[in-house]
Structure formats: structure tokens, C-alpha cells
A and B are shown apart, each in its own frame.
Chain A
Amino acid sequence: MKTQIVLSGVGGQGLISTGEILGLAASLFEEDMYATLTASYGSETRGTFTKTDVIISDQPIGYPNIDTPDVILCLAQVAYDRYVDKFHDDTEVYYDTDMVTPKEGAKGDHIGFPFRTMSIEKVGNIQTANTIALGLIMKRQGLLHKESVMKAFAHRFAGKDKVIAVNEKALDLGLSL
């Protein structure tokens, strides 16, 4: 079983970090899972298009880039527009309804929530849209256990208890949608 996940948006939305959480959870805290992560690197970091490819598989992974995603998260219009023509019928397209207007007739199963607004209003922190979406993806895909994802947060943000707590809140919100 292999899941190809593209996390796309603009710099500063924490998408590489979400990819790391996915990779860490799968490879360190799940049984017999492999993960790869490749991120687009530019000289700029904030405000420009960014994407992270994460592959999670029960077999060793060869080619680590994703041409046709099984799952894609789009947190910005620029990201959606870049990928829309690559969606296939079964692609699950998660998008932020405040940030992205889907293309008419686009392929894929579109799942929209105002992740950023939810992050501000329900989690009380502007920076957890990525984690809410992660929870939702996990739930719909049946991917990873919450326990291993929280272990990944604890590993990635060791010593930063507040960050871990706010992400757990966001993750729970996503898992409950």
C-alpha cells in the first residue's frame, strides 16, 4: 500500500513541517512503514509557492517525487492552479475554501474547509491550518494512528509543550470533521 501526498501552498504555511510529521510518524512510530519527503527548494522562503511530496508505503520507496498525487492539500490558489491538471478521478483534493476557488470541471474528489479561519476561531492560533488538514486527511484516508502522529509532534517539537498542545487541539479538530 502506497500513498502519495502532495502538500502545497505558499512559504510560511508550515507545509514542510507537516510533511516531516507525516514522515516521522510513519517511519519512526508505525510498524514497518517507509516514508520519503522531498520539498521544493528555492532561495526564497516566505510567500512564494512551495510544495512537499510525501510518500508513505509498506514497501521501500524508489522514485521519491510525485507526478500524480493520491492526496493533495492546497492552501493557496497558486498551488491549486499548478496541480489541477494533474489530478486524476480518485485524487482527494483538500483545499482551503477561503483561499482557493476550485476549477470548474476539475477531476478529483474536492474536499473544502476554511482551514485557516478554523485555525484562528476554533484553535485560537493562526498557524495550525496545516495540522487541521492533516487530521482530516488521516481520518478520510485511514492513514496513521493519532498516537504515532502525536509522538512525531513530541519528537519534532521536543521541549516546546505549547506547540505540541496547540497542534493536538488542531489535529483533534481535523479528525472530528
Chain B
Amino acid sequence: MAKSVKKFIEGNDAVVDGAIAAGARFYAGYPISPSSEIAEGAAKELPRHGGLYIQMEDEISSMAALLGASLAGKKSFTATSGPGFSLMQENLGLGIMSEIPCVIFDVQRSGPSTGAATKPAQADIMQARYGVHGDHSIIAISPSSVQDCYDLTITAFNLAEKYRTPVLFMADEVIGHLRETVTEVEPTPDQIFNRVQPAPGTTQAEFRPYNYSTNMPAPMPPVGNPTLLMRTTGSTHDEKGEFGPGPDNINRVTHYLTDKIEKNVDDITITRRYQLEDAEVAFITFGCSVRSTITAVDMLRAKGVKAGMLQVVTVWPLPEKEIREVLRQVKTVVVPEMNLGQLAGEVRKFNDYGCKVLQANRTDGVLITPQQIISALEEE
């Protein structure tokens, strides 16, 4: 029987518990509202589990330190918000190119720049996808409850390890600071994915730190292991990790970095359906807006309106198949989100079915209300 603890805590605290349960043992970061509780929790809890916390001079160095620690074999994480997330983009790119797993928690706040530092927003979704220069793909998960903050943190580390890539955890101020009931079940060893190691007996001559022949990454031994030397670089490299700026190689690497995520979309993406079976109108949403949307669906159902919701837990890569299914099924889709339509634009890209796609946006730093979501539908 797996160990299980029931708690009443905020999302940011559940993230720390989830990270430790996932096996994370290194944190480097720079405090920023509304994510600082994650740093504080990591500073307190990591030493209890043989881990290490370091507060770096900025978010640039925090990301770099994460990658170094991960390369040396420690599962690593950091937490930030908008301004810090902007600074992290540089070495997030390094992590993607070098294929070094780690998890970055962005507890989103209102922006741009300092914005309204303590107020929620969900407006970093496009930055998550395209903030790093150059073609690439990314995995981003968005929680809608404190339970998610625990469970999906473990999922995030598992995906990072499996696909040898940084994974983004796109929380928001609402969920980060929301306190609610959470049941923390300690994962069993088979529920934890650790990066693949080279087959025993692999020689240095045979070993390749990179593999571009399939859509899955090469094994990743830690730097400091006694038999194999590891070589990683942010420069375009060949399978030995050596500088490889030839046109064929550049092209191969670009496609690989995208394909290893996009071609595994069914394995990566998570969606949740709420009252969708007989729905005639549907909401497609994520993160904190899910909370308001569930209440809106309940209110509409009480009025006899057949409403339902698709929650995209995985924001990137988008669960295209599931979104298309909804667009095909209903006549009207509303996309509630705390930005000016970042997810709505993506939903429209898939709308080959003549479905009416409406937006319910809120950008004043106050959680979108169920009434506002219902109004968006009624006002059409």
C-alpha cells in the first residue's frame, strides 16, 4: 500500500512535495512573487532528503545551474514568474539543445515587465512555446488544483526524464496560492521515470550522447560516472556531441528537436473532459480558468443548457486530436483564459468544422468569474 498523506496546503507547497516525491534533489533559483513559496519550501525540504538548494544571483544563472546539476545526475528544478521566466529563456534554449532534463515552474502573474506582481494571469503561454529562439518544441503542463500541483509535478519530472528535455509547469497565482485539500500519494518506483542509462558494458567507442535516428533521446549517463565520458553542447552537434555545423546536420537536429515532442504527442498530452458527452456548447480551457469554467458548466446545466468542458492539462504540445473532436461535436466553443486569447488563437487553427469559437478573456488581475464565462456564451 503506497504511503498517502492528506493535507490542506497551497499549490506552491504541493509543488515542493511533488518535486521531492519525483526524486528532485537540486534547486537553483531567484525568489519572485508569486512563486517564492516554492523556493522557501525547497530550501527547507531538500536538505531533509539529501538534496541541495542554492539561491543564485539571477534567473539566468539559476537555469544554468539546473542544467549543470542535472548533467551531474540530480533531478533539478526552479520556480519563477514572468520577469524571471524571461531571463530563463536563454538557458532554457541551452537545455533544449543540449537535451538536459529539468522542470521550470512559472507561477504566472500579470505583465509585461513588473506588471501587477501579485496578481494572476495566464499570459505566458506563448512565451512558453516560442520564448526560446530557433525552431524547437516544448512540453508545458498547466495545473488547475493543488492536487494537480502534486500529481502533475511528478508527471513533469517523468516527462523531462523520458524526453531528456526541460519541462515547463505553467501554474498561475490563483493555483499557486490557493489552499485546498490534497492527497499526496507517494509514487511507487514504477511510477517514477529515470533517464535511460547506456546498456551495461557500453564502451566509449560505442557510446553516443545523442541519437538522431529515432524520435527518442539517447541514454544519458551522469557526468562523473566511472566509464563513459559525457559531452553536451548548445552548439549544433553531431551524435558524439561534437560541433557539427554542416547543413545536413543542422537540418537533422532542428527536425529531431521538434519531432521528439510532436511525434510523441499521444504519449505526452493529458486532457480532462467534464460533461462533454452530450454537450452542445463547449469550453476549452486550462489552469485556473478551469475552476471558473467547471462552476459555469454546472450553472448552465442547472438552467438546462447542455454545456461541457475540455481541459487541456498539457498546454504544449497541444492535444490537437481532442480539440478537433470538440470542434467537430459542438456548434459553439468558448475559450476562457486570463489573457487576450492565446489559447483561443490555437484552437482556431484547428477549426476546420465551421464551429463558432468565442473568447472569454480577463486581464485585470482578478480570477475570471463563472458569470463572465456564461456571458461570453450568451452574448454571441
Contacts and interface: CB of A to CB of B under 8 A. Distances in A.
A–B interface present (Cβ within 8 A)? yes
Interface of A: 19-20, 23-24, 27-28, 34-39, 41-43, 61-65, 67
Contacts of B298: 62
B110 to A, nearest CB: 13
A27 B117 CA distance: 30
Given A63-B370, A64-B291, A27 B177 contact: no
A62 B293 CA distance: 8
20 contacts: A20-B8, A20-B179, A27-B181, A28-B181, A37-B8, A37-B179, A37-B180, A38-B179, A42-B118, A61-B291, A62-B291, A62-B295, A62-B370, A63-B291, A63-B296, A63-B367, A63-B369, A64-B178, A64-B367, A67-B371
A64 B293 CA distance: 11
Contact of A38 (B177, B181, B294, B369): B177
Q: Which of A27, A35, A39 has the most CB of B within 10 A?
A: A27
Interface in B262-284: none
Contacts of B180: 23, 27, 34-37, 61, 64
Contact of A35 (B8, B34, B369): B8
6 tightest Cβ-Cβ pairs between the two chains A and B = A62-B294, A62-B295, A27-B181, A63-B295, A37-B179, A36-B180
A27 B180 CA distance: 8
Contacts of B178: 36-38, 64
A75 to B, nearest CB: 20
Q: Which of A37, A39, A65 has the most CB of B within 10 A?
A: A65
Given A37-B8, A38-B174, A41-B34, 8 more contacts: A27-B181, A36-B180, A37-B180, A38-B178, A38-B179, A63-B296, A64-B178, A67-B369
Contacts of A65: 367, 369
B314 interface: no
A19 B10 CA distance: 13
A124 B375 CA distance: 52
B6 A28 contact: yes
Q: Which of B7, B178, B293 has the most CB of A within 10 A?
A: B178
Contacts of A20: 8, 179
B153 interface: no
Contacts of B6: 27-28
A83 to B, nearest CB: 16
Interface residues of B, number: 23
A99 to B, nearest CB: 26
A28 B7 contact: yes
Contacts of B295: 62-63
Contacts of B34: 41
B292 A62 contact: yes
Nearest to A37: B179
Name the prevailing secondary structure of the A interface residues. mixed
B108 to A, nearest CB: 15
A36 B179 CA distance: 6
A41 B291 contact: no
Nearest to B179: A37
A41 B179 contact: no
A157 to B, nearest CB: 14
A1 to B, nearest CB: 15
Nearest to A33: B181
A113 to B, nearest CB: 27
A112 to B, nearest CB: 29
A19 B177 CA distance: 14
A41 to B, nearest CB: 5
A63 B294 contact: yes
B156 to A, nearest CB: 23
Contacts of B296: 63
Contacts of A43: 117-118
Q: Which of A28, A36, A39 has the most CB of B within 10 A?
A: A36
Contacts of A62: 291-295, 298, 370
B201 to A, nearest CB: 51
Nearest to A38: B178
Q: Which of B34, B181, B291, B371 has the most CB of A within 10 A?
A: B181
A2 to B, nearest CB: 11
Given A43-B118, A62-B291, A67-B369, A24 B8 contact: yes
A1 B27 CA distance: 42
Nearest to A52: B179
Interface in B92-141: 117-118
A93 B294 CA distance: 28
Nearest to A67: B369
Interface string B166-180: 000000001001111
A20 B9 CA distance: 9
B326 to A, nearest CB: 19
B114 to A, nearest CB: 12
Contacts of A41: 34, 118, 177
Contacts of B294: 62-63
Contacts of B369: 63, 65, 67
